Structure 1
Amino acid sequence: MPIDPSQLPEMSPDMAAEQLATRMGLELVTLELDRVVGQMPVAGNRQPYGLLHGGASAVLAETLGSVLAALNALPERFPVGLELACTHHRSATEGRVIGTARPLHVGRSTSTSEIVIVDEQDRRICTAKLTCLHRDTRPQI
């Protein structure tokens, strides 16, 4: 049985500052069982030529897809990323990018989501697909 978004486990405060998504300015906007939306600034996440770094798009995609998997798997199962594929369609040079993750498959042992990232003009920047493995136990730190 999926959990209510308000029931997502809190991260320990001493680890929050270490999180890559936090350092990149990623914000979660919508948390629903069939849709997770987040956004991230281009500034601070560029490659040397001034474009949004493809790895930054990958971080946004994996974060949104992982949260979507967690909403659908917790508390019985704990999702971890298994495979991420990203296709970069165009560059972003300013403003924010917005990602939307939607489930393609939600099963007991795996889930797969599609993540579409657009710029502020709603132009597609990246399409990603994330598959998560649903483990019986939480990984130890």
Structure 2
Amino acid sequence: MTDKDPARTPAAAPHTPEDFPFTVSGTLVERMGMELLEVGAQRTSARMPVEGNTQPYGLLHGGASAALAETVGSIAAALHAGPDRISVGVDLNATHHRAVREGWVTGVATPLSLGRSVASYEIVVTDDQDRRVCTARLTCALRDKPPGA
């Protein structure tokens, strides 16, 4: 695809969760209480409650932060890939900066590199006071949709 392909331009990308072309019903997104706030290849965001996503000490589970990061990064990569392609996470790393015991956390994915076969995103997870909780990087392979998908 070229840079002038409408499927790749920010104006053509969905900007509200209602425009998102995939369902989240019955997925980890739903189970963890994630709410999509904004969707697009250039920026995707979602929030998640801390309650129900904690480890035994009552702190937000690091795996929950990673799941939020992979969710927003994968959605952004899928939108970059276009309607006839899929994104598959191949590498995720996360650094946890601070503990959170209550409220919500918000993850925002922005691109680091958008190519034809690979997309990489930085995801910043913040708490209700806009303090950085986690910084993650996700790399997704972009592939043609399998038959029947």
TM-score where L is the length of structure 1: 0.89
Deviations 1:67-105 (A, max 9, x none): 100111022321111100000011100000011100000
Residue aligning to 2:13: 4
Give the structure 2 partner of residue 123 of structure 1.
131
For structure 1, the 5+ residue unaligned runs are: none
2:85 — aligned with what? 77
Distance 1:92 1:32 in 2: 27
Q: Give the Cα–Cα distance (whole angstroms) in 1 for the partners of residues 146 and 68 of structure 2.
A: 22
- Aligned partners of 1:110 and 1:86: how far apart in 2? 19
1:16 is aligned to 2:28: no
Whole-Å Cα distance in 1 between the matches of residues 102 and 145 of structure 2? 40
Q: 1:139 to 1:52 in 2, by over 3 A?
A: farther
Cα distance in 2 for partners of 1:139, 1:45 equals: 35
**1:32 CA displacement:** 2.6
1:33 correspondence with 2:41: yes
Question: Per the alignment, do residues 57 and 139 of structure 1 end up closer, same or farther by CA in structure 2, a change over 3 Å counting?
Answer: farther
Segments of structure 2 that go 5 or more residues without pairing to the other structure are 1-6
1:34 shift after superposition: 1.0
Assess, with a 3 A threshold, how the Cα gap between structure 1 residues 30 and 126 changes in structure 2: closer, same or farther: same
Taking only aligned residues, the RMSD between alpha carbons, in angstroms, comes to: 1.9
**C-alpha separation between the residues in 1 aligned to 2:46 and 2:19?**
18
- Larger deviation, residues 29-38 vs 113-122: 29-38
